[in-house]
Structure 1
Amino acid sequence: MARIWPEGRLVYGMQLPIQSQSAMYAEKWEKEASVEDLAEIARTADRSGFAYIAGCDHVAIPRRLADAMSTIWYDPVATLSFLAGITENVRLMSHVAVVGLRHPLVSAKAYATVDRLSGGRLILGVGAGHVQEEFDAVGADFERRGPVLNETIDALKAALGTDEFPVHHGEFFDFEGLGQQPRPVQDQVPIWVGGSSPAAVRRAATRADGWLPQGDPRDELPAQIAKVKRLREEAGIAEPITVGAITEPLYLGEPDWHVGRRTLSGKPAALAESLRAYGAMGVDQIQVRFRSRSRAELTDQMAAFAADVAPHLN
């Protein structure tokens, strides 16, 4: 499918806070945050030219992982549908939906509805998942989640296209003659694959419209990007792939509190110069995250980024 954004232009999006609160990235203030906080952050992204806002997906977290992951994971379909009603331009992305937990027709019905309600703004990010108890609880196959995801992507492409009666015949799923309305507004909902394992990289290169690497250091990204493009070329796929990257945490200005060793902080010009390196290595979209101590500080950071950094990314 065609690119969502012009080739050669680096755009920026973000995964929303509050809706998922892993100890790896959640700020302390998020635990007591409200739905209105989430809504205002989404509206700020919409006003500030963010390319997308994203939500995560987990059904249930086992006790052994609850301290590290928390159990706060909003449902992505419900969350994106809510956000569709209070935003106008920003795209809405699942980053990422563990679609192997559900039959592809169930996922297609839900996400086609999101695309319809949002006026065609959905990006469906998908991933294999990693929590075995979650798969076991819903009767999904954890051991074969990779092959199941591969086929699920193929089935979703059929079910999220223009045909009211999609057709898919595979090893795990088989459907024909079953109609689904509403159809997506987009002729084909873009499907992006998350993950940086060899299997995920191959999956993105050969089956997806975009790749969402997970935590690859800057110095390793160029080789990974080259691999994605080589695998895509070897598979005979001519359509371009949208390459993403998750940046280091950001803080505009000189913080008077400890923002973390890896956080990029300082003047807008310096941050823009640092982030332009992603575009130079072949990245099309960067997912940014701002250190903050409150909703107000976060929205101030977002607005300042849009005003003072974003114009200099290209």
Structure 2
Amino acid sequence: MADLFGLLLALGAIGLFGLTLAGEFGAFHAPLDIINHFRPLILLAALAVLVPAALLIRRRAGLVAVVLSAIVLVTQGRIVVPEHIRPPAALAAMPGPAATTVTVATYNMLKHHTSSERLAAWVRDEGIDVIVLQEVGLGGRKAVAELARILPHVHAPDGALALLSRYPLSEPELVRPLFDKGARTRPDLIAATVQLPGRDPLRVVGVHFGWPQPAGIGQPIQFDWLAQDYLASSRPQRLLVAGDFNSAPGSFAFRRLAAVLPLARATHGLMSFPTRRGVFGLHPPRPFLAIDHIFAGRDLTPLQVARGPDLGSDHFPVIARFGLR
């Protein structure tokens, strides 16, 4: 029985090692980069193999399982572990009583599946100042109307995106998706300048990117357009970009985007997808993908970042409270 168990562990370790190796080639071959969205799951699976395999290390199969799963742990851990370590500097940078804060949220509503009453109650209870919504759709108009009682300044020119604010908005903008030979080359994008009382204005950009498939086109092109074209002339110090990126921090595509954006990501280690509503017939007990993000300029210090409750969509909302310089 021990030999059979050791063999199963060795086969599992070989499979995880193969996935990890293929994922590393995702830096050069976009289709393989899909694997890297699931780095946390691969790391946990490797740990689940390593622990029992260590008890069988005197057997050849056990030794193979230990060595390969350890390689997987190191390879995936170098990306996953730093993602889940919160920097202590955020607490030290907390502003004094006279400083202004702004609370921002992003949420993919999945159209009519979101409870408008629960969403409005959450926004009110959390004291949210600005929220960007994706996949509003016809079914989400009721939710937008409900939120407008709390956040009266609304920019919602179409059925895909909405931006609502406690404070007046100016310079509203909407960028609709652009397609080239069937590939989506621009994301859904909505933007407006929030006129904060007694402070310099804040430019808020809400985005909804396409899926990482088909690989090599679509999402990477949308990332390039945002960083190199759309934000090229922006004032990054007081800029905030939030939304559904449909890309996890472990992927090479997302890491390239984060490296070139003139902003810092506030949402580290924050799994936001999926909810118990499920996806592709799966109903996981906890979310395992971090695909909803908030990036902010250097004039915004993240004080608190959290995942919101399940409001009916397949995404959890994400909320961040910033101190303003």
- TM-score by shorter chain over 0.5: no
Which structure carries more strand by proportion?
A: 2
Which category of TM-score, normalised to the shorter sequence, fits these structures? Answer: 0.3 to 0.5
TM-score, normalisation: structure 1: 0.34
